[in-house]
Chains A and B, each alone.
Chain A
Amino acid sequence: MPEITFREALRQTLREELLADERVILMGEDIGAYGGSYAVTKGFLEDFGPDRIRDTPISESVIVGCGIGAAMGGLRPMVELMTINFSLLAFDQIVNNAAKLCYMSGGQIHVPLVIRMASGAGSQLSSQHSHSLEGWYAHIPGLKVAVPYTPYDARGLLKTAFRDPNPVIFIEHTALYSRKGEVPEGDYSIPFGQAEVCREGKDVTLIGYSGSVYQANGAADLLAEQGHQAEVLNLRTLRPLDVEAIVASVRKTHRAVVVEDDWKFGGFAGEIAAIIMEQAFDELDGPVARVCGADVPMPYAKELEQAALPSERQIADAALALM
């Protein structure tokens, strides 16, 4: 199987969608002439032309709203918001319109729209460019939220996003773009709501998504050095959430640590902890632990930024405390 980057996996998939369906158009800031802020759409403008690869003004709300309308009007749009930080300017469109139109129209309207955005910290981009707000979107009924970890996930989940008749928030952690992984050449897709056990173990379940699965895997290595077998769960989508996979793993290991870059207070890790408590309380040998981002605006200085993000050591220690 060929190894390609996460970025290349996305690029291949978008290219295939553009080739397969004339209704597919891409809109966003600097996706055309510039080639995309993270170079995902590099070369697309030349290949598909300005009618389908549309550079927009810096107007996040109308970018998403235009995507919604285009989807309602019979196109198959994908909009790119550059980063999740800028998506806050489009929050009204995403929450009030994209998520609710199907329901409040009594099922008459559907919004087959893919909204891509980069997320995460770790590059010293400071407070306003380092958010991990996946959980905010997962909170909203009417949306689906995909959080790929591997290049294989990126391709398979993006394929599914383009097949879904509902709005899909597709979140790409910036630390993942250049990571490589095996991706088959043929057509495949990954259904939403199916987590992946990316490492089997019997002593503790480490639950992560997107970039945080990387730290969870690192923590599992540390734990292995001390003779503990951690199971690592890559959620792949937050909504729908693979509750069965979470519960099945906890039944096996009886211990769980949830890892998330986002702030702990009021975050998605708390949701997972609550679900485990509701559905597998008697299986637990201890409280569900959460290792999350520190409750601070992200600082610039490298040492402070690292201190604000979950580390492999912290995750391993949280797991050891449950043993």
Chain B
Amino acid sequence: MTQLAEKPTVKDLDKGQLIDLLRQMMLIRRFEEKAAEMYARQRIAGFLHLYIGEEAVAAGAIAAINHDDYIISHYREHGHALARGVDPGRVMAELFGRETGVSGGRGGSMHLFDVERFFMGGYAIVAGHLPIACGLALANQRLGNGRIVLCIFGDGAVNEGEFHEALNLAAVWKLPVLFLCENNFYGMGTDIRRVSSVIEVYKRARAYAIPAEQVNGMNVLEMYEATQRAARRVRSGQGPVFLEAITFRFRGHSMADPESYRRKEEVQEWRELDPIVTFRQKLEQDGVIDEATFQALQAEVEEVVNEATRFAEESPKPPPEALYRHVYEEES
């Protein structure tokens, strides 16, 4: 079997859940805009990879799995962390390099960890976390805890050897991993069409006999549906499933990116598919929300992001004498 079942409709989402999806995407968008602003004001340094444009992937996929399913991700992971419910203040504090950050200021933007929320980190070596996803899934399988692993990576990862090693192992050991590729067409500045022999990423998973399909990653409901179905199958013990979410980042690869490799028109075309704008329109058309509800949501996320930024700003910096702390776990 290489094809998933027919797409069901979103029947288990009530009004509150639909609004939550919109709120989640709006929170991520506003958080990222604020992070860009704070980077320009030199509150944030290093690499900063923004998730703007791809919000529907994180919001839809993460809402469709259980709160104690592991998530392991790449270095453009602020959105995944926020969608998992990681405290925005502690994420912002991490970007600021503060002691109160989720990783104590040791990780930064690319290495957000919140083990209490089963958020097992952002990883900055392309495809380097896919093998770890297999291990987390193996632990789940052996402990019989019913948890799955949502492993998120970009299209840039699919030409790395670790991608192929991980897919093969997950398939042959029937590991409970849901592989989610965020295909935004550019590995940093290189168009996937220039460097990949097969550009339909999901087909590569099928080479390992993993059920795989493409999903519209600009549509939060489609992401939710596809992930829910995939997660159900993964949880049933039949092995991994692979989803390729077609999406686009509206901003550069990182803050240092002049974007010379893609046309302005191409970015504009994708901006017209903005996942927040289109979902808002749908909810208004369906009578789920009205203008006032949207305004209230906007005020709400504005407040959360401002509060997060204030928290980060006021948080203490890690003391130099704590430099060597956590190099090793103390003997238990």
Binding site for B on A (CB under 8 A): 25, 51, 54, 56-57, 59, 61-62, 64-75, 77, 92-93, 96-97, 101-110, 141-142, 144, 163-166
Q: Establish whether residues B143 and A74, one from each chain, have CB atoms under 8 Å apart when the complex forms.
A: yes
Q: Establish whether residues B115 and A108, one from each chain, have CB atoms under 8 Å apart when the complex forms.
A: yes
> Which one of A57, A74, A109 contacts B113 once the chains associate, using CB atoms below 8 Å?
A109
Q: B304 on the interface (CB 8 Å rule)?
A: no
Q: How many angstroms from the CA of A108 to the CA of B107 in the assembled complex?
A: 11
> Which one of B105, B131, B325, B326 contacts A66 once the chains associate, using CB atoms below 8 Å?
B131
Nearest chain B residue, comparing its CB with the CB of A71: B135
Q: B306 on the interface (CB 8 Å rule)?
A: no
Chain B residues positioned under 8 Å from A64 (CB to CB): 131
Chain A residues positioned under 8 Å from B166 (CB to CB): 62, 65
Q: Establish whether residues B143 and A57, one from each chain, have CB atoms under 8 Å apart when the complex forms.
A: no
Q: Establish whether residues B169 and A141, one from each chain, have CB atoms under 8 Å apart when the complex forms.
A: no
Binding site for A on B (CB under 8 A): 70, 101-107, 111, 113-115, 120-121, 123, 125, 128-140, 142-143, 161-162, 165-166, 168-169, 172-173, 325-332
Nearest chain A residue, comparing its CB with the CB of B102: A106
Nearest chain A residue, comparing its CB with the CB of B113: A105
A-B contact pairs, 17 of them (CB 8 A): A57-B169, A62-B166, A65-B128, A65-B129, A65-B130, A65-B134, A68-B135, A69-B135, A69-B136, A72-B120, A75-B143, A102-B327, A106-B101, A107-B329, A109-B120, A109-B121, A142-B327
Q: Establish whether residues A67 and B103, one from each chain, have CB atoms under 8 Å apart when the complex forms.
A: no
> Which one of A73, A92, A104, A107 contacts B139 once the chains associate, using CB atoms below 8 Å?
A73
Q: Establish whether residues B326 and A96, one from each chain, have CB atoms under 8 Å apart when the complex forms.
A: no
Q: Check A92/B120 contact, CB under 8 A, given A68-B135, A70-B135, A71-B135.
A: no
Q: Establish whether residues A57 and B165, one from each chain, have CB atoms under 8 Å apart when the complex forms.
A: yes
Q: Establish whether residues B328 and A62, one from each chain, have CB atoms under 8 Å apart when the complex forms.
A: no
Q: Establish whether residues A65 and B132, one from each chain, have CB atoms under 8 Å apart when the complex forms.
A: yes
Q: Check A73/B327 contact, CB under 8 A, given A57-B172, A65-B162.
A: no
Q: Establish whether residues B113 and A141, one from each chain, have CB atoms under 8 Å apart when the complex forms.
A: no
Most chain A C-beta atoms within 10 Å of own C-beta, residue among B106, B125, B130, B131: B131
Our count of residue pairs bridging A and B at CB distance below 8 angstroms stands at 146
Chain B residues positioned under 8 Å from A57 (CB to CB): 165, 168-169, 172
Q: Establish whether residues A104 and B329, one from each chain, have CB atoms under 8 Å apart when the complex forms.
A: no
> Which one of A51, A71, A105, A164 contacts B103 once the chains associate, using CB atoms below 8 Å?
A105
Contacts A62-B130, A97-B128 aside, 15 further interface pairs with beta carbons under 8 A come to A25-B142, A51-B142, A54-B173, A65-B129, A65-B166, A69-B132, A69-B137, A70-B142, A72-B135, A73-B137, A74-B143, A75-B138, A92-B128, A102-B329, A109-B121
Q: Establish whether residues B134 and A66, one from each chain, have CB atoms under 8 Å apart when the complex forms.
A: yes
Q: How many angstroms from the CA of A96 to the CA of B134 in the assembled complex?
A: 17
Chain B residues positioned under 8 Å from A56 (CB to CB): 169
A-B pairs with the 7 shortest C-beta distances?
A69-B135, A65-B131, A73-B139, A106-B104, A62-B165, A105-B113, A59-B165
Q: Establish whether residues B131 and A74, one from each chain, have CB atoms under 8 Å apart when the complex forms.
A: no
Q: How many angstroms from the CA of A71 to the CA of B172 in the assembled complex?
A: 20
> Which one of A54, A96, A104, A163 contacts B107 once the chains associate, using CB atoms below 8 Å?
A104
Q: Establish whether residues A104 and B128, one from each chain, have CB atoms under 8 Å apart when the complex forms.
A: no
> Which one of A66, A102, A106, A166 contacts B138 once the chains associate, using CB atoms below 8 Å?
A66
Nearest chain A residue, comparing its CB with the CB of B122: A104
Q: Establish whether residues A61 and B120, one from each chain, have CB atoms under 8 Å apart when the complex forms.
A: no
Report B284 CB to chain A, min CB distance, Å.
41
Q: How many angstroms from the CA of A64 to the CA of B106 in the assembled complex?
A: 24
Q: Establish whether residues B103 and A108, one from each chain, have CB atoms under 8 Å apart when the complex forms.
A: yes
Q: Check A69/B329 contact, CB under 8 A, given A62-B166, A104-B103.
A: no
Q: How many angstroms from the CA of A74 to the CA of B325 in the assembled complex?
A: 23
Nearest chain B residue, comparing its CB with the CB of A69: B135
> Which one of A73, A107, A108 contacts B325 once the chains associate, using CB atoms below 8 Å?
A107
Q: Establish whether residues B136 and A101, one from each chain, have CB atoms under 8 Å apart when the complex forms.
A: no
Q: Check A107/B131 contact, CB under 8 A, given A61-B165, A165-B329.
A: no
Chain B residues positioned under 8 Å from A69 (CB to CB): 131-139
Chain B residues positioned under 8 Å from A68 (CB to CB): 131-132, 135
> Which one of A25, A104, A110 contacts B111 once the chains associate, using CB atoms below 8 Å?
A104
Chain A residues positioned under 8 Å from B111 (CB to CB): 104-105
Chain A residues positioned under 8 Å from B105 (CB to CB): 106
Chain A residues positioned under 8 Å from B103 (CB to CB): 104-106, 108
> Which one of A59, A105, A166 contacts B169 once the chains associate, using CB atoms below 8 Å?
A59
Chain A residues positioned under 8 Å from B130 (CB to CB): 62, 65
Q: Establish whether residues A72 and B132, one from each chain, have CB atoms under 8 Å apart when the complex forms.
A: yes
Q: Establish whether residues A109 and B115, one from each chain, have CB atoms under 8 Å apart when the complex forms.
A: yes
Nearest chain A residue, comparing its CB with the CB of B169: A62
Report B97 CB to chain A, min CB distance, Å.
12
Chain B residues positioned under 8 Å from A108 (CB to CB): 103, 113-115
Q: How many angstroms from the CA of A56 to the CA of B173 in the assembled complex?
A: 9
Q: Check A62/B327 contact, CB under 8 A, given A51-B142, A104-B103.
A: no
Nearest chain B residue, comparing its CB with the CB of A67: B135
